[in-house]
Structure formats: C-alpha cells, structure tokens
Chains A and B, each alone.
Chain A
Amino acid sequence: MADLSGNKEEKAGEKHGAEPLIPGLPDEVAELCLLYLPYPHQALARSVSSSWNRAITDPAFLVSKRSLSLSLPYMFVLAFHKSTARIQWQALDPRSSRWFVLPPMPCPKTVCPPAFACASLPRQGRLLVLGGMRSDTETSMDSTFIYRSSTNQWSTGPPMLTPRSFFATGNVRGKIVAVGGSGSGTGDAITAVECYSPESGRWGPAAKMRTGLARYDSAVVGNRMYVTEGWTWPFMFSPRAGVYDADRDTWQEMSNGMREGWTGLSVVLDGRLFVISEHGDCPMKVYAPDLDTWEYVGGDRFPREAMQRPFAVNGVEGRVYVVSSGLNVAIGSVYEEADDGGFCVKWQVLVAPKAFQDFAPSNCQVLYA
C-alpha cells in the first residue's frame, strides 16, 4: 500500500527506510488507530512522522475510513468579517460543538463573499467553491477551489467555462451543476449552465436556462435541481424559477405551488424540501409534492432571539443546521408525528465562540470527514 504514496514522500521514505507507523505494532493494525482519529486531528497527525504522513495522505486511507463507517458529518461554514469583508472557512463538529478554522482559501484578497457559490461531494470529503466576484475590479471569476478534509488542504481546480458570480450550484447525483448568475457587468444575467464531473475533472456545457434570474436559491431533490428567485422583500415581483432535469439535460417550469410558497432558504432532508422562511418568526415549511403546496412544520418555534440574519442553511441525517450572524447555530431535529404524519421540529442552539462574533455566514456545506 505504501507503494501508492505520492512522489513527494518517496524521497523521505528512501532516506528513512520503512519506519513502522507505531513501534511494536504491525502497520495494518497501527493504521486502524490513525483511522479512528476524527477530523481534523488526522490531518494534524501528518506531522508526527513521515510514515504517518504517507499513510494519511494515501488515497486508500480515505477508502478504508469510509468502509469502516468512521466518517462523520461536519458543517463547513463560509463566513466573512462584517467590517473588513475578510473571508474565513470554519468547520463545526456537531457532536462536540467544537469549531476548527480552515487554512485560508487561495483566492484573490479582495472578493465579495456572497458572490461565491459552494457545493460539496460529501462522501469524498470535498468542498468546491466556485466563481465569485473581485470587489476591486467588480469582475466575475471562473475559478474552482477545492478543499479536501482528509489533508485539510486547498487546491485549485479547473476553471469554469463561464465566469459567474451570485449564482446557484448543487450536487446532482455526484455531478456539480453551476447555473446562471451575473457575468461582467450588472444586469448581465447569464443563462448558461455547466456541469463538473469529479471523475473526469472537467467542466462541460449543459442545457441553458430559459431566463436568467436576479437572485438565486436552489435545492437538489433526486435528479432535479430547483432554482428560484424566491419571494423576498419588497415582494413586488412574482419570483421566476426553473427546474433542471439532469438525466435529460432539459429545463422545465417550476410548478406554481412550489414557486409561490418558496419564501426563504431551502434545505433538503431525505428527499424532502424545506424552507426556513425569511419573514416573521422564520417559520419552517415543507413542500408536499402530491398537493403542490407548502405545509407548516409543527413543534418548536424557531429560536429567533439567538439568531440574527443573514442565515446559511444546510441539513444532514434528519437535522437542519441554520447558521446566523456571529455563527450561532440552530440545530433543528426534524421528525414525523406518529398520528397525522406531519413534520415537527425541535430546535437547539449552539452559541458560537466570541472570536466569531463579527462574522456573518454566507454558505454552509456538509462533508463527511
């Protein structure tokens, strides 16, 4: 297995011979101890010795970790300093409530934080940050930055075909779809769509949207990506929307009920689409596909006192994670009521460390790490 290690480490390997991972233990047993280390301590442990570095960096390590079901979900939050606009990624371990600050993303210094779009390949522990806008030149970017949780490192991926900012992206059956956004000038709405295949590592064109949108919220359910402007203040125009079918590479109209009731940030749990509404006390709603309507989710009220806008939302394994200004996190456990089958939610708030009080979230992604 050590033969698969990268060229970079080969030199060290020759120099020191095949040092055991842990003296007195066969390497395959010692590797188990390393596999049980949770994120991000694994990446940290690379500096213990060159044999540890080799073992942890080996792609087979991640495969073993997955096959032993030792990968757990973490929330990765893109946030920016409210006065300096400095961007910072951090990861939350929801089990220990501990945060870890990631190394800086290799992007230009002056960027507009909410202009990026983010997607993830959760099971591969990879995070993708796409496009965005330079705030000095106000030009859209075509860049792809990739973070790997196994090594806690950023790399630069292949650029998108179209520079874009303020757009939608999502993981549709393992492919990353980038939709719409703004190009060079304001009012220049892009209808082009492109698709990144992690296997080939390339971007390719996909079917164009019928019309570009002024703002984007999106959700992926099954093989479809739902894209909408959403109802938003000052509620003057009915929102435009579209549905991308990734299997057929076609666009369809969004049903009226879905479009009209999409009143906030969306999150998908077990194939069900929810929104955390922007208005009032931020009620949570769930979309009922059979009736083409939205239904209110019962249970607790949203913990509005601890949660100031802006929000970033994501969900995994039956829980919704809403990140607020200052990076407080409201965790909503969603359950179905036994008698009428309606959804209910139970909220719990994780108060963020003081160090995050001047940060506002702009995206939240789930990775298994």
Chain B
Amino acid sequence: MSSSAENPTLTAEITKPSTEIATETAQSAKKITLKTSDDQIFEVEESVAMEFATVKSFFEDAPSSTDTVPLPNVPAKPFSQVIEFCKEQIKFKANPDETEKKRSNSEFVKEKTNEDLVEMIPVANYLEIKDLLDVLNQAVADRIQNRSVEYVRSFFGIDNDFTSEEEALLREEHAWAFEDVDED
C-alpha cells in the first residue's frame, strides 16, 4: 500500500525537536521513538508501544535496537488518538475490570468525529491492535445502523454505483426498513 522507503536506521531527520511527547510519566521508563508517515516523531513509553503488535514484533527481531521505528502507513493525527486509547488500555491489563473497560472504550469513541473513527481504522489494522479494531468497527457500525443509505454513503465517501433500476429493485426488497430510520 505504501511506497515510502523503509529505512530503520537513525537518520538526521529525527534530530528536530519532537512535536509531541506522548507520556508524562517518570523519565526512567523506557521510551520508543516512532516516526509517522508525515514525519512526526513520537516518543512512546515502551509498555504502550508494545500494544502495537507490529512494533512489538519489530523489537522481537531486534531486541536491543534503539533505532527510530518508521510507521510508513500511519499519519500523526490518528496515531496520537491510537496512543491515547492504548494508554487507557494498559491500565486494565494490571487491573482487569470489564465494566470499567467497556465504559472507558465507549467514552473514547463517543468524543471522536466520524472522520476520526474512519481514519483510525487503517492505523489500528496496520499496528495490529485487535481490541481497538473491534471497538472502532463496533463504533462505526453503531453510527451507521438505522441511518439512510445516503447517510452511509456520505459517511464513508462511497459513490453510488448502482443504476437507478438496480437501486430501485434493492430498495423494493426491503422498503419496510426505510420507515423508521433516524434523522441524518
């Protein structure tokens, strides 16, 4: 999907100051440096970065690496939201509480725009964060269910490629379902 060159070695680019520091905790915690597709540098606590299966396997192959990890498919904006989610998630690892986790997850998606959700999905997929992918898919499904077909198309930017005859035929099959949809 990406055409960017994957170069795991340290480059001069990261000497510019980090635009975002993803953690406020003690200096002693080991940090992992990650670079997004739009060349933003993120310093992420190791425990958070290990939530990204893709990054985790990178370090399994090279345990002592201190290199910056390039994330060629990950833009900074959704990535910072993904980090926010994973920071919450690791709290539940030490202290499992399904009810609280559910509440926290629904809180997380509630304040995100439709665009935020759709942008985070490929990031969660690329980084292989299964819990987040489940949460996002459910959130998207929740937002488009009981909506008109037109709403769903504009939600995702999908072109209607049916002929008017084809569409009329499909709508006829379940005309009943259009009686009770939510306002767009």
Q: How far, in angstroms, from A103 to B173 measured CA to CA in the complex?
A: 7
- Who on chain A is nearest to B172 by CB? A103
The reply to whether B159 and A101 form a contact with Cβ atoms under 8 Å apart is no
- Who on chain B is nearest to A31 by CB? B137
- Who on chain B is nearest to A9 by CB? B166
Q: Is A291 an interface residue (CB 8 A)?
A: no
Question: A12-51 vs B: 1/0 string, CB under 8 Å?
Answer: 1000100100111110010011111110110111111111
The reply to whether A23 and B177 form a contact with Cβ atoms under 8 Å apart is no
- Who on chain B is nearest to A37 by CB? B141
The reply to whether B156 and A23 form a contact with Cβ atoms under 8 Å apart is yes
B82 to chain A, nearest CB (A): 14
Q: Is B10 an interface residue (CB 8 A)?
A: no
The reply to whether B133 and A40 form a contact with Cβ atoms under 8 Å apart is no
The reply to whether A45 and B152 form a contact with Cβ atoms under 8 Å apart is yes
> Given the complex, which residues of A lie within 8 Å of B129, measured CB to CB?
none
Q: How far, in angstroms, from A45 to B162 measured CA to CA in the complex?
A: 13
Q: How far, in angstroms, from A101 to B145 measured CA to CA in the complex?
A: 16
Number of interface residues of B (CB under 8 A): 32
Q: Is A152 an interface residue (CB 8 A)?
A: yes
Q: How far, in angstroms, from A49 to B155 measured CA to CA in the complex?
A: 13
Main secondary structure on B side of the interface with A: helix
Q: Is B47 an interface residue (CB 8 A)?
A: no
Interface size class of A (residues with CB under 8 A): 35 or more
A55 to chain B, nearest CB (A): 12
For B161, give its contact among A45, A49, A103 (CB under 8 Å).
A49
Q: Is B90 an interface residue (CB 8 A)?
A: no
The reply to whether B162 and A29 form a contact with Cβ atoms under 8 Å apart is no
For B159, give its contact among A25, A44, A49 (CB under 8 Å).
A49
Q: How far, in angstroms, from A52 to B156 measured CA to CA in the complex?
A: 12
For B158, give its contact among A41, A43, A46, A48 (CB under 8 Å).
A48
The reply to whether A100 and B177 form a contact with Cβ atoms under 8 Å apart is yes
Question: B123-146 vs A: 1/0 string, CB under 8 Å?
Answer: 001000000010001101100111
The reply to whether A32 and B167 form a contact with Cβ atoms under 8 Å apart is no
Given contacts A47-B149, A50-B161, contact A24 B170 (CB under 8 A): no
- Who on chain A is nearest to B119 by CB? A24
Q: Is A97 an interface residue (CB 8 A)?
A: no
> Given the complex, which residues of B lie within 8 Å of A34, measured CB to CB?
141
> Given the complex, which residues of B lie within 8 Å of A48, measured CB to CB?
149, 152-153, 158, 160
For B176, give its contact among A12, A16, A26, A103 (CB under 8 Å).
A103
Q: Is B118 an interface residue (CB 8 A)?
A: yes
> Given the complex, which residues of A lie within 8 Å of B49, measured CB to CB?
none
Q: Is A153 an interface residue (CB 8 A)?
A: yes
> Given the complex, which residues of A lie within 8 Å of B157, measured CB to CB?
23-24
A26 to chain B, nearest CB (A): 7
> Given the complex, which residues of B lie within 8 Å of A49, measured CB to CB?
153, 158-162
The reply to whether A32 and B173 form a contact with Cβ atoms under 8 Å apart is no
Given contacts A41-B146, A44-B149, A45-B152, contact A29 B125 (CB under 8 A): yes
For B122, give its contact among A29, A37, A101 (CB under 8 Å).
A29
Q: How far, in angstroms, from A22 to B141 measured CA to CA in the complex?
A: 13
Q: How far, in angstroms, from A19 to B159 measured CA to CA in the complex?
A: 9
For B125, give its contact among A19, A26, A46 (CB under 8 Å).
A26
Within B8-43, which residues are at the interface with A (CB < 8 Å)? none
Given contacts A33-B140, A46-B170, A47-B171, contact A19 B161 (CB under 8 A): yes
Within A341-358, which residues are at the interface with B (CB < 8 Å)? none
- Who on chain B is nearest to A50 by CB? B161
For B145, give its contact among A38, A50, A153 (CB under 8 Å).
A38
3 nearest CB pairs, A to B: A36-B141, A47-B170, A41-B145
Known: A46-B170, A52-B158. 6 other contacts (CB 8 A): A36-B141, A37-B144, A38-B145, A40-B177, A44-B149, A44-B178
- Can you give 15 A-B contacts (C-beta < 8 A)? A19-B161, A22-B158, A29-B122, A29-B133, A33-B141, A34-B141, A36-B138, A38-B141, A45-B149, A48-B149, A48-B153, A103-B173, A103-B174, A103-B176, A152-B173
